[in-house]
Structure formats: C-alpha cells, structure tokens
C-alpha cells in the first residue's frame, strides 16, 4: 500500500491539477496505482484492520471499487484531491505502522 501510494505522489511532484487534463497516460497510471492501494487494503485481514482504526480502510477499498467499476467517469478534481490531500497522511500513517 505504502509503496504504491508513495509512487503516485512522486508522479505528481511539480505538477498542478491542470496537468491531469492533458495527460491521459498520467491519469491512467495514477488510477492504477490507487487501485493497487485499494486492493492491498482489501487483502489486509479484518482483525488487523480492526486493530488499526486510525486508517480509513473502508474508504480506501471503496475508492478502488469506484475506480475499477467507474473507470469511464473518473472525476479528476476528486482524483487530485485524493492524491494531494489524502495520500500524504496515509503514507505517514503507514510509515508509522510499519516502523512498529
């Protein structure tokens, strides 16, 4: 989860939201990375997820499902907000979790 989330954030370093509009390959790559993050979260045991409620497990899996099933209707504003607003704290939380 962490590695793919981190990779997604590196893909957007130095970019702006508008850069997504003109780069279909970037949007597809970012969507795929977020799908992988969600799939990885889904594979974590329920016991482990319950013992770490500080992570938004359900939202991560739900994002994966939306990207997989709604691939033709990805809202780039929402995608950008997830990439810039949600992923950095998730990566930090995963870093802490993996350090333990």
- The one catalytic residue among 2, 43, 49, 64: 64
Gap between the Cα atoms of 34 and 48, Å rounded: 21
Gap between the Cα atoms of 42 and 40, Å rounded: 5
Catalytic, 69? Answer: yes
* Closest-CA residue to 38 (of 57, 12, 10): 57
What is the number of other CB atoms lying within 10 angstroms of the CB of residue 39? 16
Catalytic, 24? Answer: no
- The one catalytic residue among 24, 43, 69, 100: 69
Q: Where in the sequence numbering do the catalytic residues fall?
A: 64, 69
């Amino acid at each position: 989860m962490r590695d793919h989330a981190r990779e997604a954030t590196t893909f957007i370093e130095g970019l702006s939201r508008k850069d997504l509009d003109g780069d279909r390959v970037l949007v597809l790559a970012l969507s795929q990375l977020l799908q992988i993050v969600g799939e990885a979260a889904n594979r974590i045991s329920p016991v482990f997820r319950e013992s770490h409620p500080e992570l938004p497990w359900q939202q991560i899996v739900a994002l994966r499902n939306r990207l997989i099933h709604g691939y033709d209707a990805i809202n780039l504003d929402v995608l950008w907000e997830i990439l810039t607003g949600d992923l950095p704290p998730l990566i930090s939380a995963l870093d802490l979790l993996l350090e333990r």
